[in-house]
Structure 1
Amino acid sequence: MSTISPAPASPLASSSTIAVCGGGIGGLATALVLKQAGFTPVVFERHLPQQLRDEGLFLTLAPNGCNALRSLGLLEQVSAVGLPTHGLAIFNEAGRRLALVDYAEQADRYGAGSITLRRGALVGVLLDAALAADITVHHGATITDIGQDARGVTISVNGEKHHFALALACDGLRSMVRRLVFPDLPQPLYTGLVGTGGFTDAPSVAETKGLMNMVFGQRGFFGYIKQADGPVHWFNSYPAPESETGPVADGVAFARRLERMHAGDPLDTTAILAVTMRVDRHYPIYDMPELPRWSTGRILLMGDAAHAVAPHSGQGASLAIEDGIVLAACLSATPDHAAAFARFESLRRDRVQKAIRIGRAVGSQKQAQSWLALRLRDLMLPLFMPIGVQMQERLYAFRVDRAPLEHPVQ
């Protein structure tokens, strides 16, 4: 790994070299749009390429995320590896449908629909695009220190020092850059929920015709979607103490535990888990308190490092891609990085906080356990669901591909 040349002094030149710390969805999207804007991004990622392509479960890109990908020229590639998602159907533990959210008009209203796809598949499309654009991506790169002065940022990676004009922390909820540069900021808080999931061949399960079926089971929440004869994409979440959030010791035993957890739950829940042979990973769900600041000097927090959004919101990946597009526009509009960072935060903070509030509201419904709490949920969810849908639609309506420097629709 060669040492990068020292960064130029301020003001920021359009060709300045910018460190992108983190090569996941947000980091790669940011690097791509910076490259398009004439900057020279260099990505540092601790995982190897195949690990990134195999990483995680799946996610749903909302219309705003799909429109963001369109501005990168990648919407067609991503659509080709995803499942068109036409709505959500929500059921209680007795199989009674509580709500149906129809996405049929999304494309007409927002310019794009929703797509469900493997997280690793999305990262793979972004990584291939970054390499095709001659963006340098260092894999197996562990950041151990970071500092800055009036001329630039110095990052220690695997024992070597690298120098840049700016550094962007795109390294997720557990951001190492945030811990090194902002040690006083609040830490992520455990929500009390653990998430799992996978991809299972289940021939007996009928395709869901583009619907994501979601079930409030007796002991856990379960969701799934299936297209034609493809595998079932499924996930669940359930309450658990933080002491149970460590690595899965026995994937076979854990799969059987999940099967018992959902025994007797409606729809195809038990049929899917019956043919799921092992589950080797689970994901404790954390909530990030609102941070008082996202930048200091030449270093900026982005994506989950700045504003982690719970998976219940369905917005994490979409907002991370938007972040990169907005930041590149801000940096292109002014040679003053401090002014660009301030403008970026002013454009993004209210929007991401709305998504975070939606995620918290949905997550709280998954905590209901007592008989009374379940009955209140069944009574109130159909009444409040339209309000939640309206909040989501305001998020969908923002077209970052058309006007990244406009304040999002409120």
Structure 2
Amino acid sequence: MSSVRSALIVGAGVAGPAAALALAKVGIRSTIVESHPGPADGVGAVITLASNGYDVLRTLGVASSVDAEAQRTFEVHMSDAGGQTFARYPSSGFVMARDALSGILADHAARAGSRVEYGRRLVGAEAASDGVVAHFEDGAELATDLVVGADGIHSTVRGIIDPDAPDPVYEGVLGFGGITDAGATSADPGVMNFAFGRRFLGYWRLPDGRICWYAALPRAEETSWRQIEGTPSSSWLARLRAEYAGLYPAEDLLALSTPDDLVTTGPMLRMPPVPHWHGARRRFRSCAVLHLWTRGIAGAGECARARQVSSGPA
């Protein structure tokens, strides 16, 4: 990549600014474009970082900033629906708000020389003799050496690379979470808890003593964001309470939760393996995290956006 000097990164969530920081370390200055009108403040729920993910953040030079915002976990605890422990083992990790991580990465990327342009939607890109020409919804064009796609599971860049790439697959559940008082739920500080049974629940204790939990609601038919947001959160909470009735500690936590506490991460989607793609002068191979096509186009994974649904009457 010695001849590459400029990059266009599509997506300013988490993966985009992270890619910009990585490219800056090898002398490549990036422009990050984002279709949303502004930064991701308040967008998303909580991200769990495993130790290898944290190692990447350390390499990118943002670990100290993450330390100031994240809560560290040291152990995983697994139990059954009755609260009986069947596994407990050391496991280092971090949990933090998605928008906090996105903001940290964006701030560091800006200091490294990258710039973010909001309200710009990529609609096409084509290889040129000396790089790539990107086309935007407003009719503008941008010539660059490299395009990196960090635009999520419904990636525009992936479709440009391979129009026949598979679509995400709905996994049959909707994701929900919330923060509530602990009540009778026992949770040691620094421990990530997983409760298994008829349904799964994940939860951990926050520094202020409250519990952050996340759950999955089975739903055979895929539900759009518009349908989710059009359903009052009181209705979703009632469905969760019915689904988790009799299960520890979900029943207690959901009883203490209010409609205003409820956050949805939306339909849970899985990205099938993306076929190999190649052309006369460029190659692409699917990867879970990041794809680079020198003097070409790349694709990257991104985190699902979470939203707080309305709390009106059912």
TM-score, shorter chain, exceeding 0.5:
yes
Identity of aligned residues (%): 27
Q: Residue 257 of structure 1 is aligned with which of 227, 234, 239?
A: 239
Give the deviation of 1:66 after TM superposition.
0.8
- Tell me the amino acid that sits aligned with residue 54 of structure 1: G
Q: What residue is the counterpart of 1:127 in the other structure?
A: 106
Pick aligned residue for 1:150 from 129, 138, 142? 129
User: What 5-or-longer segments of structure 2 have no aligned partner?
Assistant: 302-314
Measure, in 1, the Cα distance between the counterparts of 2:69 and 2:277.
34
* Map 1:11-410 → 2, pairs under 5 A: 13-14=3-4, 16-50=5-39, 52-103=40-91, 113-159=92-138, 160-198=140-178, 200-202=179-181, 204=183, 205=185, 207-218=187-198, 220-246=199-225, 247-248=227-228, 249=230, 250-267=232-249, 269-278=250-259, 279-293=262-276, 306-308=286-288, 320=289, 323=290, 337=294
Structure having the higher strand fraction is 2
SS of residue paired to 2:16 = helix
RMSD: 3.0
Q: TM-score, normalised by structure 1?
A: 0.64
Separation of aligned partners in 1, 2:66 and 2:136? 31
Residue type at the aligned position of 1:224: Y
Matches of 2:252 and 2:16, distance apart in 1: 38
TM-score where L is the length of structure 2 = 0.82
For 2:78 and 2:146, locate their aligned partners in 1 and report how far apart those are by CA, in whole Å: 45
> Cα distance, 1:295 vs. partner?
6.5
Query: In proportion to residue count, which structure has more helix?
Result: 1
Q: In structure 2, do the counterparts of structure 1 residues 167 and 228 end up closer, same or farther at CA, with 3 Å as the change threshold?
A: closer
Residue 194 of structure 1: how far off its partner (Å): 2.3
After TM superposition, give the deviation of residue 193 of structure 1 in Å: 2.6
Unaligned runs of 5+ in 1: 1-10, 104-112, 309-319, 332-336, 346-351, 353-410
Worse overlay, 161-170 or 204-213: 204-213
Could you list the per-position Cα deviations for residues 73-116 of structure 1 after superposition, in whole angstroms to 9, with x for gaps in the alignment? 1111112211111122122222222222322xxxxxxxxx3111
Structure 1 residue 265 displacement after superposition: 1.2
Distance in 1 of aligned mates of 2:15 and 2:33: 13
Which whole-Å CA distance do the structure 1 matches of 2:266 and 2:103 have between them?
A: 21
SS at match of 2:215: strand
**Distance in 2 of aligned mates of 1:299 and 1:276:** 50
